[in-house]
Amino acid sequence: MKNNPVILIPGIGQSKLIVTDENGNKIKNAWPFELDEKALMNDLKGSLMKMLIFRKDGGFSDKVAGIVQDISDPLAVNPDGTKKHRIRPVSFPKSVAECSESEKKFIYKMIPLEELGEKIGEENIFFFAFDPFGDIYDTAASLDAFVAFVKNKTGSEKVNLVAVSVGGVVLKAYWQQYGDKNDVDKVLNIVSALDGTQLVADIFENKLALGDPVSLLTSLGGKAASLASSVGMLPAEIIQTTIEKSLAALKNNLVNSCTSMWGLIPDDRFDAIFEKYFADGGNDVLRGKVLSLHEYSLLFADKMKGKNFFQLCGCGKPLVPVASSADICSDGVVDTASASFGATCAGVTQRPDVSTCAFPDTTWFFEGQGHDAIAYNDVALSLAVKILTGEIESVRQSPDYPQFNGARNIKKLKYTLIPQAKEAISQAAGAEKDELENCLAEYEAIGKRTVIENDDDVKSLEARLEAALQTVKE
């Protein structure tokens, strides 16, 4: 049986955006933000020194907020929901098979479904790039055109859609406008915000927990965590004021008038937020669009009944510490109730109640799985492939893929340690070579284990490989 082509609808940080002139020529990058750290520090130096010396704000918070305003301005949204600047996603009007190696590497880094390419052919995989801060109905229209393009190119009657994270909002808007065209066979949601996320609702309502910036930055990891110790030396009240003003600048540019962001407000919190923001009437165009999407969102589960609709969800983690709603079951970013289309949970660590899901037989949970890290859970990705190719159609026929599974993160192994080990084998001999070969064999064995108890085997192998590689170097 011929498989349908697959269109990947990525998450919020998975499309590159550029600012263009009236002729469509690139002016500069818009997303991810372009940061000249040296220039920023030079610009901030005077205000920072005054604040450190006198231990008073002295305009420091306004200076930082102004910088944030300028950095995010390329993506700014007008009061009616239109874009302030001409923004274009770096698109891929071709199959993955036709992409250059660098393009292919980018796509698979965003959504690592290489196995799917091996199964159905990369000529049948397509990546739909879009502006996550754009007008949601413009994005839906672009997706409809992309679906038509893929159908025409492949000669297929239908396509399969894979919606990741904020892709769930795009999916709803697309289905509202174009679902009756019957162009889609399967929909696979991977940690999708099908009913938004409490985090975005907290942002709209200014309910973020910003009182402990050091703990917040530490919890975020990466560059943010490296700033924590420096921030800890600054006056706490000034840092909190600076964060609040910077967040207000971001909200003004990217959130308050953005229909896509409005689509991320959970249905049960929408009315209160809508009434607050449109108390004085507001912009009629924006008001109409966000209300229309919300009203359809309330009907979406019923609209999808009888469809081939699948969900892969993370659970068992609180939301990021900045959320005042942090003590709900989630994958750290998207509530499990949202990603699973209705599963209820008594607490963060309790298993969700599958019976309350809109689609209990086609929803899988990965306990302890982080939102972004699901891209490095090889079992979740393998399950996704089997769903898209029709090998698995229900939780009842997949004993190797239980409805409740564990978390895994093979990023370090897959992209760093294993490639290094394969290269190092040619330079190793004796016991060193044997250990590297044993490690590679264990990596293959881990990949065959589809029931995850915990991530200990991955962490153990990481430690073994790091030690083995160090021995070879010495």
B/e letters for 431-460, b = 16+ CB within 10 Å, e = fewer, are: ebbebbeebbebbeebeeebebeebebbee
pLDDT at position 228, please?
60
Closest Cα to residue 197, out of 32, 108, 325, 84?
325
C-alpha–C-alpha distance, residues 91 and 95, integer Å: 11
CB 36 within 8 A of CB 219: no
Strands laid side by side in the 363-367 sheet: 125-127, 6-9, 159-164, 184-190, 308-315, 363-367, 404-406
Task: Tokens for 409, please give them.
Answer: 């993160």
**Unique residue bearing structure tokens 């010396």:** 53
Report residue 9: phi and psi, to 5°: -110, 100
Strand partners, 127: 8
pLDDT at position 449, please?
95
C-alpha–C-alpha distance, residues 428 and 407, integer Å: 33
Read off the pLDDT of residues 217-248 as tens digits, 9 standing for 90 and up: 665 555 555 566 666 667 778 888 988 999 99
Closest Cα to residue 358, out of 314, 315, 401, 297?
297
Length of the chain: 474
C-alpha–C-alpha distance, residues 309 and 292, integer Å: 23
CB atoms within 10 A of CB 75: 23
pLDDT at position 96, please?
98
Residues of the chain with pLDDT under 70: 1, 212-233
pLDDT at position 39, please?
82
CB atoms within 10 A of CB 288: 11
C-alpha–C-alpha distance, residues 104 and 403, integer Å: 31
Read off the pLDDT of residues 313-372 as tens digits, 9 standing for 90 and up: 999 999 988 888 888 999 999 999 999 999 999 889 899 999 999 999 999 999 999 999
Which amino acid is located at 51 in the chain? M
Closest Cα to residue 213, out of 199, 197, 225?
225
Per-residue three-class SS string for the chain: CCCCCEEEECCCCCCCEEEECCCCCEEEEEECCCCCHHHHHHHHHHHHHHHHHHCCCCCHHHHHHHHHHHHHHHHCECCCCCECCCEEECCCCCCHHHCCHHHHHHHHHHCCCHHHHHHHCHHHEEECCCCCCCCHHHHHHHHHHHHHHHHHHHCCCCEEEEEECCHHHHHHHHHHHHHHHCCEEEEEEECCCECECHHHHHHHCCCCCCCCHHHHHHHHCHHHHHHHHHHHCCCHHHHHHHHHHHHHHHHHHHHCCCHHHHCCCCHHHHHHHHHHHCCCCCCHHHHHHHHHHHHHHHHHHHHHCCCEEEEEEEECECCCCCCCCCCCCEECCCEHHHHCCCCECCCCCCCCEHHHCCCHHHEEEEECCCCHHHHHCHHHHHHHHHHHCCCCCCHHHCCCCCCEEECCCCHHHHHHHHHHHHHHHHHCCHHHHHHHHHHHHHHHHHHHCCCCCCCHHHHHHHHHHHHHHHHHHC
